[in-house]
Structures are given as C-alpha cells and as structure tokens.
Structure 1
C-alpha cells in the first residue's frame, strides 16, 4: 500500500464517499471488477480508489462514541434515495456497454437530458449511481427544471 493511493491529504482536504455495505467482498468486487477501481485496502475499512476519488466501505453497525445516536445500514428501500454517487464520464455509451457486459444493472439506457446524457445503475447494496456525460452543458444549454409536484 502506497501513501499516494490512500485518501490522506498532506495539506488541505480531500473528498471521499463512504458506503455502508452488507457484504464488503461483494461490494469491493463491484467497484473494482465492474467500474475499474483499485482496491488499496481490502477490509476494515475497504478502500477503493476509483478514478480521482475513493470509495470507503464497511458493514453497518450501531452507535459509536463519535456518533452516539447514529446507526449505519445499507439502503432498505430501493425506491427512495437521499443521496447518490455521481460518476462523470467522457463517453457514456462506451461505459454503459462495458459496465453492462460486466454485470452492472442500469435502470435505463443513457437518456439525452439536453445538458447531458444520463443514466442510473445500482451497486450490489442498492445504492443509486448516476452516470453522466456533459454535452449541451458545455455550450451553456441547461437541463429542464424539475416538474412541479
């Protein structure tokens, strides 16, 4: 393990994404074998370097001294999300084809949203992952605002 592979800045800050997972080995395999990340630590916690970011994974559990009222668990309702991982790519169609062939489960193929091409997939625990390629946004074209509820 090399220091530069770990999310440990020598100055400033660095953003990582933590996922509570049911099966660390299964999730590690998804982020390495399907998405092409590199496992820099296998367990306790599992750390996968993915492009220019890190995914940190551990099983859930009850409160700890530094989070006394918090219990961690993987998503329980795939129809509800409060946050999601957002992966920006240069060629969404290539990623869609490659990752689908490796077992990724996409909700739909890429859809043109004016500002971007976009689709979503789920990881083994049900976490929602947006995959997007900026298109119109690069020319100042924005997506339509959300529909009124």
Structure 2
C-alpha cells in the first residue's frame, strides 16, 4: 500500500468522511462496485478512496476513552437525516445511468433545481447521498432560499 493511497497528509489537513455501517463488506462493495471507489483497506477500518476523497467505515460501538459518552450506530430512520454525503459530478445523466446499471436505487431521476441538477441515492445502511451537477450556478443562477418556518 502506498502512502498516497491513505488519507494521511504530509502537511496541513485532509477531509475524510466516517460512516457507521451494519455490514462492512456490504458497504465496501457498494462504494467500490456501485459508485466506483477503490478499496484501500478492507477492514478495521475499511477505507475506500472515492474520487478525490476517502470514506472510512466501521461498525458502530459504544464509548471509547477518546469519545466518552458517545455511541456510534447507523441511521435508524432513513427519513430523518442530519448529514449526508454530497457528490459533485460533471455529467449527472451519465452518472445516473451508470450507477443505476450497477444497482444504485435513486429516490428520483435527476431534477433541475435551477442552480443544479440533482438526485439522491441511499447506501445499504440508509445513509443519504446527494449527487449533483452544477448548471445554473455557473451562470449566476442560484436556488430559491429555503422556506422559513415560523
């Protein structure tokens, strides 16, 4: 294994994303076989390089000395989300066709949101993944602001 394959910067910082998963092998296969990532380390932790980033995956567990009082577990309710992966692509239609052919189940086909085309897919544990292609934002056209609740 080469150092550059690992999320280990020689200087500065590097952003990775940790996913708590139920079945490491199943998640590893999804991120490599379906989304096209490269497995860097199979387990303990599983590390998959996806484009210019890394996903680190391990099963959940209870508190540890460095995170007292914190329990990790995969999402329990796929309809309630506090964070999600956001993958930006150059051609969303090609990505949608390719990943669908490999078994990805998108919530909808890509939808034009003025600033971008986007759609969502879930991984085997229910983690939400937004897939988007910048369109209007490249021309100064942005999405409408979120509706306010009061």
TM-score normalised by L of structure 1: 0.99
Please give the per-residue CA displacement for 1:37-62, whole angstroms capped at 9, x wherever unaligned: 00000000000000000000000000
Consecutive aligned runs of 4 or more in structure 1 exceeding 6 Å deviation: none
Q: Which residue of 1 aligns with 2:138?
A: 138
Runs of at least 5 residues in structure 2 that lack an aligned partner in the other structure? none
Please give the alpha-carbon distance, in whole angstroms, between the structure 1 residues aligned to 2:120 and 2:99.
12
Q: Which residue of 2 aligns with 1:93?
A: 93
Q: Which residue of 2 aligns with 1:31?
A: 31
Please give the alpha-carbon distance, in whole angstroms, between the structure 2 residues aligned to 1:127 and 1:136.
27
Shift of 1:23: 0.2
Q: Which residue of 1 aligns with 2:112?
A: 112
Please give the per-residue CA displacement for 1:102-126, whole angstroms capped at 9, x wherever unaligned: 1111110000000000000000000
Q: What is the number of residues matched between the two proteins?
A: 149
Please give the alpha-carbon distance, in whole angstroms, between the structure 1 residues aligned to 2:42 and 2:116.
35
Shift of 1:148: 2.9
Please give the alpha-carbon distance, in whole angstroms, between the structure 1 residues aligned to 2:108 and 2:49.
26
Please give the alpha-carbon distance, in whole angstroms, between the structure 2 residues aligned to 1:114 and 1:75.
30
Task: Please give the residue correspondences for 1:1-149 in structure 2 after superposition, counting only pairs within 5 Å.
Answer: 1-149=1-149
Please give the alpha-carbon distance, in whole angstroms, between the structure 2 residues aligned to 1:68 and 1:146.
36
Secondary structure at the aligned position of 1:143 is classed as coil
TM-score normalised by L of structure 2: 0.98
Please give the alpha-carbon distance, in whole angstroms, between the structure 2 residues aligned to 1:24 and 1:60.
10
Please give the per-residue CA displacement for 1:69-99, whole angstroms capped at 9, x wherever unaligned: 1000000001100000000000000000110
Please give the alpha-carbon distance, in whole angstroms, between the structure 2 residues aligned to 1:120 and 1:78.
12
